[in-house]
Amino acid sequence: MLMSRWESAKSEGVFNYHLNCMYKFLPGDFNFSIQLNVERAQMRRKPMRFHAIREAFNSMRWNFTKLKEKEIMFYFRCINQPCSGDPLDRHIVAVNASPLERGHSLIVPSISHCVPQVLNETAVRIAAHFMLLVDDDTFHVLFNSLLGFASVNHLHLHALFWPYDSDLINRRCERISDALYVIRRPVWCTHVIVFQLTSAHDINKFITNVLTCVEFLSVKDVAHNVYFARAQPLRTTGEIWSEDTKRTLPQLVTAYIFPRTSVLGAKPVMNFSPAALELAGCLTAYSYRFFESATEETALRIMDEDATISDSLFNQLYSELDDILCGRKPVSKQCDDIDAELELTSPELEELRDSFETFEMHSPRRFYSNEKPNFDFPPPPSPLASAPMSPPLDNGKTFPG
């Protein structure tokens, strides 16, 4: 249904451009795939500027309540196990008008509640359910936090099909505790926290673990990206890299969480932006020049500059998270302290102005585009002719009022 609705939206001209992407692999240790998508850089809505990982929802800035009806593909809810406790909750799947690939969509949980871009239980549950419902190994659900290349402060996830496997799913992990796994550099290009759904009976535990992790990172003011994929059972022994080419092993829903450095402001796209998809090794080039010249070395340098946290910080984070998951440390609940709504800065006011439609004043002249209009209006009366006269003065003279 997702693809049929997406194709229907395409036929109705909802998208900003027609997809015509090129792909290639970058030789090296990580088997990065890279896509050329010039139109997305030129025609997508400008990313917004943010100052913190937790910012209050601002109804004046662009958000998903402003979507056009034809951009919404469908509404959904879970009947036998609701995604939230509100029976009136409406969750939507909308097109991404500037798509990365066929089927690129936006999942907006509880749209009318206007929740800021901080993962909550409803969003994680929806992500897990979508991964289970879409029987396609190329399907992924993605989340970018504020300061982690999220472009809108209204809770949403990306859903898309990427034609090539991320090599991340083939990497050896390190088991920290019962459910907590990590992948350190240099096994992968950046540090990763990993949770895997191994059984249908464990879905609630899987959701709780993912939620606990992102809440912990949010409270710690650590920006993060989340990449949901299907992967072979996590392994902790053997080679650093091992691919199940014959697909003899089960492909299990897996959440890869990337703690990362914060990106302040709206950074102009020059080469690529290391968000969830890119940190999983699926890159998008926004210029033909970069697409042609890109190497694994240049991609790694961009990730190091814009995303990678230090080894010591990662060790500290997963150690504290392990204490929380194992009950040795209380869970820190997030977001009673979401930053209060701040006054908009000058660039943000300009962004707000650009987000409104510009209306043309109604004027007779606009209907005469091909010929000079000829309006015959009577000349205005002389001011002196119509001016009232002042009462006579003592000297008997009168003057115009």
The number of angstroms, rounded, from the C-alpha of 53 to the middle of its chain's C-alpha atoms is 13
Q: Centre a 10 Å sphere on the Cβ of residue 204 and count the other Cβ atoms it contains.
A: 12
Contacts with 385 (C-beta within 8 Å, 6 or more apart), sequence order? none
| Nearest to 289, CA basis, from 19, 28, 33, 34 | 34
CA torsion sign, 194 to 183 to 252 to 21? positive
| Nearest to 219, CA basis, from 227, 211, 209, 229 | 211
Residue 92, exposed/middle/buried by CB under 10 A (0-12, 13-18, 19+)?
A: buried
| Nearest to 148, CA basis, from 303, 284, 316, 8 | 303
Contacts with 247 (C-beta within 8 Å, 6 or more apart), sequence order? none
Residue 156 annotated among the catalytic residues of the structure: yes
Q: Centre a 10 Å sphere on the Cβ of residue 305 and count the other Cβ atoms it contains.
A: 10
- Kindly state the DSSP code that residue 198 receives in the 8-state scheme: -
**24 three-state secondary structure:** strand
Amino acid at residue number 53: I
Contacts with 256 (C-beta within 8 Å, 6 or more apart), sequence order? 168, 192, 193, 194, 226, 227, 228, 229, 280
**Which of 140, 154, 156, 224 is the catalytic position?**
156
Compute the distance between CA of residue 323 and CA of residue 331 in angstroms, rounded to an integer. Answer: 9
User: Catalytic residue numbers?
Assistant: 156
